[in-house]
């Protein structure tokens, strides 16, 4: 029980004692409200995020009217985690052509602190990660198979994952936008116009559908976000960005990337610059020596091999790298590591 009061609309909320039955009714689905999603949609309109995850949770709860269990939500996260791992494995295997690399990828992510934090945190983030994994895989397959023929079996799940991802978490739109933009630029420069329109329009229509269902997306992203995430009281942008990169590498690789100005790192750069300046005239003087000429020839061969290997390079890697950088920058701008501390990792995993 707790204190309730009357708000500006005349609804009794605080400064009045209520029994625990009121709270139980609030967190469970009653028989008359089974499979009724109007409350989910209405509440999400006043919240920061779209309603899809809440609708899935409501569906599960509708099979158990009057019952509350943490495992209803946890079950969603576990299924989302398993599906994410499947598509991470498939995507890595397709990019590298090696299933062992796929296994390494799911071990690296699956046993990481970031994945664990997202999975045990019973909110929308695990489901959003699942849609990102499916979207990334389908985007890559459209890119790969589009060289020969555009296949609906990848365009349809691309549309579904893009729509449901955007209907689950606003940040998904940023990830999808950067990945799609990179591929679209590639298609344009390589003159693959059919794939350009097929890939681009599929993602565009999916995003527009989610925006039509959640018209206050722009308001949430541009306005309420600052109040909700306390970004008005935060570190400077670049310091916040360093903290998020620190969180990303720490929770994924266990590597501590310096998140603050460090005199040793600066000293190392100064010493390295000094060595380069001192070596420049020496290298110039001995440039015609046999061992220098031999070294240059070997270096040219190495560079040529790298250039030749570029023919098998997967542009997907650039698209995904840009999506990680872009999303991390946006999250650093919109949220506050000052308030969220280590819990901020859910925004980037």
Statement: residue 73 has pLDDT above 70: yes
| Whole-number percent of the chain with pLDDT over 90 | 27
Q: What is the DSSP letter of 312?
A: G
Residue 171 contacts by C-beta under 8 Å, 6 or more apart in sequence?
Answer: 128, 327, 330, 331, 347
Residue 33 contacts by C-beta under 8 Å, 6 or more apart in sequence?
Answer: 39, 62
Q: Which pLDDT does position 3 carry in this prediction?
A: 43
Q: Is the dihedral of CA 145, 148, 151, 153 positive or negative?
A: negative
Give yes or no for a contact between 127 and 80, defined as CB atoms under 8 angstroms apart.
yes
**Average pLDDT in the chain:** 80
Q: Which pLDDT does position 23 carry in this prediction?
A: 73
* 19 three-class SS: coil
Statement: residue 7 has pLDDT above 60: no
> Residue 225: which pLDDT band, with cuts at 50, 70 and 90?
very low
The CA–CA distances, whole Å, from 316 to 17, 96, 112, 165 equal: 57, 11, 23, 19
In the predicted model, what is the mean pLDDT of residues 194-202? 94
The DSSP element (H or E) to which 4 belongs, if any, is strand 4-6
In angstroms, the CA 329 to CA 349 distance is 14
**Cβ burial 102-138 (10 Å sphere, 16+ → b, else e):** beebbeebbebebbebbbeebbbbbbbbbbbbbbbbb
If 0-12 CB within 10 Å is exposed, 13-18 middle and 19+ buried, where does residue 221 land?
A: middle
Give yes or no for a contact between 107 and 335, defined as CB atoms under 8 angstroms apart.
no
pLDDT for 157-171, tens place per residue? 999 999 999 999 888
The model's pTM: 0.77
- The mean-pLDDT minimum among 50-64, 178-192, 219-233, 256-270 falls in 219-233
Residue 64 in tokens: 């158990």
Other beta carbons within 10 angstroms of residue 224's beta carbon come to 14
Q: Which pLDDT does position 263 carry in this prediction?
A: 57
Query: Which CB contacts under 8 angstroms, 24+ apart, belong to 262-268?
Result: none
């Amino acid at each position: 029980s707790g204190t309730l009061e009357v708000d500006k609309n005349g609804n009794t909320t605080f400064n009045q004692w209520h029994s625990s039955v009121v709270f139980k009714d609030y967190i469970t689905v009653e028989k008359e409200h089974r499979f009724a999603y109007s409350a989910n949609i209405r509440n999400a309109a006043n919240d920061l995020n779209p309603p899809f995850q809440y609708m899935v949770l409501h569906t599960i709860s509708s099979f158990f009217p009057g019952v509350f269990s943490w495992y209803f939500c946890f079950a969603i996260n576990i299924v989302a985690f398993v599906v994410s791992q499947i598509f991470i494995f498939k995507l890595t295997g397709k990019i590298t052509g090696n299933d062992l690399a796929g296994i390494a990828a799911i071990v690296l992510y699956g046993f990481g602190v970031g994945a664990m934090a997202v999975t045990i945190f019973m909110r929308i983030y695990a489901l959003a990660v699942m849609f990102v994994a499916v979207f990334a895989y389908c985007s890559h397959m459209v890119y790969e198979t589009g060289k020969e023929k555009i296949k609906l079996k990848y365009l349809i799940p691309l549309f579904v994952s893009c729509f449901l991802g955007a209907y689950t978490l606003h940040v998904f739109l940023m990830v999808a936008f950067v990945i799609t933009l990179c591929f679209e630029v590639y298609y344009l420069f390589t003159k693959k116009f059919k794939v350009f329109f097929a890939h681009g329009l599929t993602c565009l229509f999916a995003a527009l559908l989610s925006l039509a269902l959640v018209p206050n997306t722009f308001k949430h992203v541009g306005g309420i976000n600052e109040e909700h995430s306390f970004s008005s009281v935060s570190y400077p942008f670049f310091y916040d960005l360093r903290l998020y990169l620190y969180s990303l590498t720490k929770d994924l690789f266990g590597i501590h990337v310096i998140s603050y100005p460090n005199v040793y790192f600066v000293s190392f750069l100064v010493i390295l610059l000094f060595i380069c300046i001192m070596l420049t005239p020496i290298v110039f003087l001995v440039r015609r020596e046999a061992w220098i000429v031999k070294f240059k020839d070997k270096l040219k061969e190495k560079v040529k091999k790298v250039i030749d290997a570029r023919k098998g390079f997967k542009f997907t890697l650039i698209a995904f790298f840009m999506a990680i950088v872009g999303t991390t920058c946006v999250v650093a701008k919109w949220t506050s590591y000052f308030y969220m501390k280590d819990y901020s990792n859910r925004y980037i995993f």
